[in-house]
Each structure stands twice: as structure tokens, then as C-alpha cells.
Structure 1
Amino acid sequence: MTDSDVVALAERVRDGELRLYELEDHAEPDVAAAARRHLLAEETDTDLSAVGDYTFDAADAESNIENMVGAAQVPMGVVGPLPVDGGAAEGDHHLPLATSEGALLASVNRGVSTIRNAGGATARVLKSGMTRAPVFRVEDVAEAGEVSAWVREHVDVLADAAESTTSHGELQDVTPYVVGDSVFLRFSYDTKDAMGMNMATIATEAACDVVETETPADLVALSGNLCSDKKPAAINAVEGRGRTVAADVLIPHEQVEDRLDTTSDAIVEANTRKNLVGSAKAGALGFNAHAANVVAAAFLALGQDMAQVVEGSNAITTVDAREDGLYASVTIASLEVGTVGGGTGLPTQSEALDVLGYSGGGDPAGSNADALAEVIAAGALAGELSLLAALSSRHLSSAHADLGR
């Protein structure tokens, strides 16, 4: 790539000969990105040298981005080792987290240290299923009942159609929901190690063709928002989406005092009044302190779909002072993660997954994504413990001040 190539391509856009999105048809992806930066820098009088300083081949990102100009770099750190006794995850883990929030990793790592000294966290994926819910139009509620009955009796037929589009996904169930002359069908898939949103969408489209052929229903939209993707939704809190995963730990009372500078009773009270009562009063769907902090930082570092942090914040934290220690748990109802596809193939994200030990497809299929969900849940538990301790000991603001944040 030469400077003259970049300038010439940019001039063709400025002259109206090409549009920004057409540049890859006339030049290599790195040249196209540089031409866009050149145009943008001139039109906005901005220095884009940092945006253009990236290590991966732009051609490798073509399935992840359009109109590429460069890359956004976010500082990445690591917490650990975090011992996890999971259904899929096992042993010590170093969890990469990417964030611009100072003090976050220091706080999470304090929780990790506490969990490690207590013998580690236990974690389990309790349910797995990626959903897509198209909406159909019918004449009246009588037809709605007819369609719902047909779907319940022919899930196997819909499975044949849906699974013909993928070599990995499996249709688990289809649940009809009726609102007047609208029929929603909530399809749930086992997508193995992929997060699976695209897989579920393509498979559901094939199944919808069968529904339209065999019933009086007419498809209105392939997504009817009852899925529900990238929006706060009670159905995901109740039914789950992606992985429903829980992690817990029992910490001796003396370790709570030594490592978290507070007491078990104080943490219990803070959790009850803040996470439970306060969240209920606010009408929140998530009953936790800041689970989204760890979920978002892990998603950035590990190549997950950032918008699905919305569902990942759908978590409940429970704390109980037992005779032998402080019991704490986090249950995330709808954690949508994968170790193949999407952003997991990008270089830094792939390296981060390698650090964690769960890159690519697992054996058996789905085990790597299960393990990833379990480690993220354990990391969220560490974050909950540390923040609750800081709040109950009134150290939150001083911790930020000490770290210059």
C-alpha cells in the first residue's frame, strides 16, 4: 500500500465516483480502511493515527465490520487465578477483562483472592438455549388457537426444517404465545459452542416457511421481540436465553473480616437493602450490585456481542450468613456467550480466549461455551463480593480515590 493509492481511492469517493462502502470492491481491505481514514481526517480535521494503528489484517475483519476505518483499543487486564469447580470449567483460570473503568479489576481481583482462599467457586450451567421468536398474523383468535395447536403437535416437523440449515444447531422446543390476532412462536436452540444468534435466525426462517405452508398464519417479522434480544425483558429472567449459569462460594467468617475488611452480617444487610429491596423498589430486572461490569469487560476481551450485556446483567445475587461462613451466589439468567464465531476469531480476542483455555469448539460440542459461562459467572461473583464489602465498610469512594480514579 502506498500513500498515493490511498489518496487516489479517497479522491474517487470525494468526486462521487465511489461510495464509502464500495471501496473493498476496488482495493485491498487495508487500503480501503486507510482511504476512509484519509477522507475522515481531512473532512473533520482529526488525527486518526491511533485509530489506524492496529495489528490484525483488515481482511480478517470483513465479517465483523463494514466501512472499516481502523480499530478501537480498550485497555485489557487480567484477574486470577480464579479456581472454578464447574460442570465444564475446572481448575485455576486467568480471566482477561477489557475496560476503561479504573479500579474495576483491582476490585474484582480482591473478590477473586477471597474466593481462592475459601477454596474456590462452584459453577454450573443450569440451562442452555438460544431463542428467536417470529410473529405471525392470523384472522382471529380461533385461527390463533389452530396455529398454536398445530405447532405443539409438529415440533418434529419444524425441527427437520430448522436443522436442515445447520450442521450444529438443534431445535429444543417451540412455545406459542397468542395476543389477539398475533401469534408469536419462541424457538429455542442448542447452538453448541456458538453464541448462535445468526444460526437461530437462519434456522427459524426455514421453519417459518413450514408454518406458513401448513397453517393460516402469515409471517410479519422474523423477530417479534419475544426472543428477546438486546433489550431488557422479563421473559429472559424467567425462561432464560443463551446460558443460565450460577456460581457460589462459602467463605469462613474470619476470612470475610481479614480479606474484605467487613463482617458477614454487614454484607448480608447491604445485599438485602441494596440488591433486593432497592432493586425491587426501582422495578429492576437485575437484582445485583454490578454484574454487568464483569460481563461487559469479559465480553470486550473475549469477542462476545457487546449489546448482549443487556441480557447478561439479568442476574440475582444472594448472600446468607450461615453458621460456618458467608454463603454468596450469583445466578445469571441469560448469559449469551460462545467460543466460536462472531468476534472470537479476531486476534486479540482469540488470544484472550487462549489465556482462559476455552478457544474454539469444545469436546463434547458446547463444553467450551459452557466453561466460558461458568468462569464469567464466577468472575461476576468475585465482583459482587468485593463491591458489597466496599459498600458495607464504606470504603467505595476511598478505594477510587486511592487508585486515582
Structure 2
Amino acid sequence: MNNEYLIHNTIPMNLRNLPESLSPHERCAVRRMTIQDTLEVNLSNLGTEPHRIGDAEEKNCEQMFGSVPIPIGYAGPLTVELSNNEIVDLHLPLGTTEGALVASVNRGCRAISGHTKTHAIYHGISRTIAFKIDKKPEQLINSITEKEDIWKAAGEATSSHLKIINTHIDRSDSHLFLTINADTDEAMGMNMITIAADAIGHWIANNLCKDGTTCRLITIAGNVDSDKKPSKRTHDLGRGYEVHAEANLSTKVIQETLKTTPESMMHVADAKLKDGSHIASALGSNLHAANIIAALYLATGQDAAHVVEGSLADTTVMQTKDGLQISVRLPAILVGVRGGGTSLPAQKQCLDLLLKPQTSLRPTQQLAESIGAAVLAGEVSLLAAQAAHTLASSHKKMAR
């Protein structure tokens, strides 16, 4: 089938210009029926419900014609000591279609509950502005440095919830990259930092790219920030929240709850996390951190594409006198409690469940540390399953 055939035989569908009198639920239904009738497919299971759609059709998804239910499984409770020394019982809503995942995380919760501590470092959300430089890059760098207070103010003027916390300049032969990191309050902040980067980029282009300095603004998303992409820089320096979670497990817990031995778990850790990851040149040496991050991001309305950065986690296993110390470092947990999908009805309820009870921590930090603890539970359980050689049998039993 050639392109000319497709162009001349595609039936146009009116999915945008719908009567203003229709409700969001009704607009979804009209689009769904239009697609269904035009393309002769059955989309009946994608129907929406008026009380569950929230603002999705108006704020979250263009040309929305339905929704796909994601199963939510419960794991917990998981007793954790957060970085402010408050002890909480976490209840984890895991959105997944992968059989055995919830059961595995639930077992991990039983193993590490009461033995786990977390802490977090906030690096802020970042955007990188790229400029083309033809000559005198040092002059532009000096001007950017000298005028920092002014262009920072231009960026911060775009939102009362945004505060620039640090900046960094990189150079290639033909481009200059200005990365800005900002505190975006209770939002994950990608929209805010993008709008601020746009204001900053244009201020620099209009005010500094002159007077003998040949430069021009190329893009406000220059990839040094590595948004939704894996990079060594994000792995090493962190982005959003860098979360650490650690648990000390006794031999008794390992034998009775995890059904294996410390020695067997160490053997798997040495082979998988050290040698295997090294041979693969992996950015992040972990067991399946992305599984748990994805499940919690989906359930709580986070931007699921940021699972990419979440997968950069490193899991470390050390033998102790009476068992094992297992820790995980997550360099880039990008979460918010406002904005995006967090206000959709079902996602908001899952978010409230995960953040219950509220602590004295900033809500976004509590959420990030909770995710870190959940990841640790998943890492411990999968490590034990591989040590006991029950990984395949568990999936055979639960995932089919």
C-alpha cells in the first residue's frame, strides 16, 4: 500500500470542532463513535464515566475518546523512618498489568518493614537552553554570568511557584548550553521550568547576543538536562529528588520471609549487580526499580515517561554480622502533588492513600521518599527470588 493510496483514501474525521454544549464525557463518546464507525473497529470498552473523567478531556488529553482501566494492586503496610525521623506506615497503590509484581513487592514490604530508613536531596527540575555561538564564546559566558540576577528574575517572573536554585554552563565547539535548575514547589514542574527557560532564553538572545557577540537562541530544550532520557549526567548528579533507602535484614528475616539465605543473595548481587551490569555498561545497576516506579507513577498521576530517569537506580548489597544491608540510590525521582494527572479523581485518591498520613516533610519529598522505600521492597524481594531460584515458578504460577 503506497502513500498516494493512503492520502486519497483516508476518511477525514471531525474530532475537534464539536458543539460547545457537550460535556467532556459526551465529547469523548462522540469521538469514540466517530472513530469506531469510520474505521469499522470496536471501541466499546473504552467508554468513560462522567464522575471519573475529571478534567482529563479539557486539560490532560487532546482529542480524548476514551480511557483504559489500569488494575491497581495493594502492597503494604511498609513501616519506614523518613528523613525527618518520623515513622510512617506506607500503603502502596501499584498500577500494573504484570502478574506477580504486586505479590513480590508485598513480600518485600514484609521483609523490610520496620528496618528501613530513607532520605532525599532535592536538585530541582532542570531545563537546558542552547545557543549557537559563532565567535567570542567567552564574551557570552562572561555576559551571562554578569547579568545572572537579571535573567534569573525574568525566569522567576513567569511563576510565583518557581525559584531558580542553581545554573550551569557547558560548551561544545559550536554551541553554548545554559542549564537552569529550579524549585517548583508542590508541582513536578516541567511546564513551569520550560516557560521560565523560554523567558530566559529570549532575554539573553535579545540583550546579550549583540555588541560583537555572534550568537542566537536555538532551543529551550537542549538535551543536557536529559529530560525523559537516560544519561550519565543525571545518574551521577541527580535530577528532581535523589532518594536513598536502606534496610538491614537479619538472617532470620531472610530465611523465614524471603525463603533464602544471605549468602545466596550475595552471590546473585555479585553476579547481577556488579559483573552483569558492568559488562552491559548499564546506566544504573538494579534489579527492576523501573517496575515499582512505573506502577506508582501510573497510579498517582505522575508523568510516566520519567520512569526513564527512575531506571538509573543503583542497588547495593553488603553482608553484615547477622544478615545483609541492602540500599538503593535513586538519582532522579520526578514527582508532584499538584498539576498534571495528580488531580484526576482516581489518581488523586491513590496519591492521598500513598501520602497518608501527611508528615512535616514537604509533600513532594514525602512522596519521593515513599517511592524510594517501595523500590527497595521490590529490589529485596526480586533478589531473594533469584537467589532461591523461584523467579520463573512465581511468574508461571501468578502471571499466566
Q: Secondary structure at the match of 1:204?
A: helix
Q: For residues 363 and 136 of structure 1, do their structure 2 counterparts lie closer, same or farther at Cα, with a shift above 3 Å needed?
A: farther
User: C-alpha displacement at 1:24, in angstroms?
Assistant: 6.0
Measured at CA, do residues 65 and 90 of structure 1 come closer, stay the same or move farther in structure 2, by a change above 3 Å?
A: farther
Bigger mean CA deviation after superposition, 283-292 or 153-162: 153-162
Residue in 2 that maps onto 1:191: 184
Match of 1:342 in 2: 340
Query: Take 2:139 and 2:159, find their aligned partners in 1: how far apart are those partners?
Result: 29
User: Match of 1:87, as an amino acid?
Assistant: S
Alignment of 1:294-373 (within 5 A): 294-357=292-355, 367-373=362-368
Match in the other structure for 2:64: 68
Rounded to whole Å, the distance in 2 between the matches of 1:106 and 1:39 is 41
Per the alignment, do residues 288 and 363 of structure 1 end up closer, same or farther by CA in structure 2, a change over 3 Å counting? closer
Q: Is the 8 A contact 1:122 1:247 kept in 2?
A: yes
Change (3 A) 1:341 1:40: same
Q: CA deviation at 1:190?
A: 0.9
Taking a change above 3 Å as real, the CA distance of residues 363 and 189 of structure 1, as seen in their structure-2 partners, is: farther
Residues 194 and 341, structure 1, Cα contact 8 Å, conserved in 2: yes
Displacement of 1:296 after TM fit? 0.3
The Cα shift of 1:233 comes to 1.3
- Offset of residue 224 of structure 1: 0.7
* Structure 1 residue runs of 4 or more that deviate by more than 4 Å after TM superposition: none
Which residue of structure 1 lines up, in the alignment, with residue 47 of structure 2? 52
The structural deviation recorded for 1:26 is 6.3
Match in the other structure for 2:197: 204
1:46 shift after superposition: 2.8
Q: In the aligned structure 1, how far is the partner of 2:70 from the partner of 2:54?
A: 21
Q: Residues 159-308 of structure 1 correspond to what in structure 2 (within 5 A)?
A: 159-216=152-209, 217-308=215-306
- So what's the TM-score if we normalise by structure 1? 0.90
Whole-angstrom CA distance in 1 between matches of 2:312 and 2:285: 8
Once the two structures are TM-superposed, the CA of residue 28 in structure 1 deviates from its matched residue by 2.9
- Normalised by the length of structure 2, the TM-score is 0.91
Cα distance in 2 for partners of 1:267, 1:49 equals: 48
Q: Which whole-Å CA distance do the structure 2 matches of 1:182 and 1:271 have between them? A: 42
Q: Could you tell me whether the CA contact under 8 Å between 2:238 and 2:331 is conserved in 1?
A: yes
Aligned to 2:75: 79
- Which residue of structure 2 aligns with residue 41 of structure 1? 36
CA distance in 1, matches of 2:228, 2:37: 35
Q: 8 Å contact 1:54–1:71 — kept in the other structure?
A: no
Residue identity matched to 2:149: D
Task: State the 1:347 CA deviation.
Answer: 0.5
- Correspondence for 1:400 among 371, 377, 395: 395
* Structure 2 match to 1:151: 144
Superimposed CA distance per residue, residues 152-183 of structure 1 (whole angstroms, 9 cap, x where no aligned partner): 34332222111111111110111010001200
In 2, Cα distance between equivalents of 1:179 and 1:56: 52
- Deviations along 1:291-327, one digit per CA (max 9) or x if unpaired, are 0000000000000001111011110000000114310
Q: Is the 8 A contact 2:98 2:399 kept in 1?
A: no
Are 1:358 and 1:371, in contact at CA under 8 Å, matched by a contact in 2?
Answer: no
Higher mean displacement: 68-77 or 23-32: 23-32
**Aligned-partner Cα distance in 2 for 1:28–1:151:** 49
Distance 1:373 1:231 in 2: 19
| Secondary structure of 2:192's aligned partner | helix
The residue matched to 1:127 in structure 2 has which SS?
strand
CA distance in 1, matches of 2:55, 2:345: 9
CA distance in structure 1 between the aligned counterparts of 2:96 and 2:184, rounded to whole angstroms = 28
Q: Distance in 2 between matches of 1:121 and 1:294?
A: 17
Q: Secondary structure at the match of 2:329?
A: strand
Which residue number corresponds to residue 118 of structure 2?
123
Alpha-carbon distance change, 358 to 156 in structure 1, aligned in 2, over 3 angstroms: farther
CA positional deviation for 1:403 = 2.1
What displacement does 1:98 show? 0.4
Residues in 2 aligned to 1:25 and 1:132: alpha-carbon distance in whole angstroms: 37
TM superposition shift of 1:59 = 6.1
Distance 2:54 2:48 in 1: 15
Matched to 1:75, the amino acid is: P
Name the aligned partner's letter for residue 44 of structure 1.
Answer: L
Question: Per-residue displacement from partner, 1:268-303 (whole Å, max 9, x unpaired)?
Answer: 221121122211211211210000000000000000
Corresponding residue SS for 2:60: coil
Q: Is the 8 A contact 1:128 1:242 kept in 2?
A: yes
Is 2:83–2:120's contact at 8 Å kept on the other side of the alignment? yes
Partner amino acid, structure 2, of 1:158:
W
Q: Do the aligned residues in 2 keep the contact of 1:358 with 1:369 (CA within 8 Å)?
A: no
1:383 aligns with 2:394: no
Instruction: Structure 1: state its 5+ residue gaps.
Output: 1-13
**Deviates further, 72-81 or 25-34:** 25-34
Question: How many pairs were matched up?
Answer: 384
Structure 1 residue 15, shift from structure 2 partner: 9.3
5+ unaligned residues in a row in structure 2: which ranges?
A: 1-9, 210-214
Are 2:25 and 1:30 equivalent residues in the alignment? yes
- 1:120 Cα shift? 3.3
Q: CA deviation at 1:39?
A: 1.3
By how many angstroms is 1:231 displaced? 1.1
Partner of 1:100: 97
Structure 1 residues 159-213: Cα deviation after superposition (integer angstroms, max 9, x where no partner): 2111111111110111010001200111101112210000100111111122113
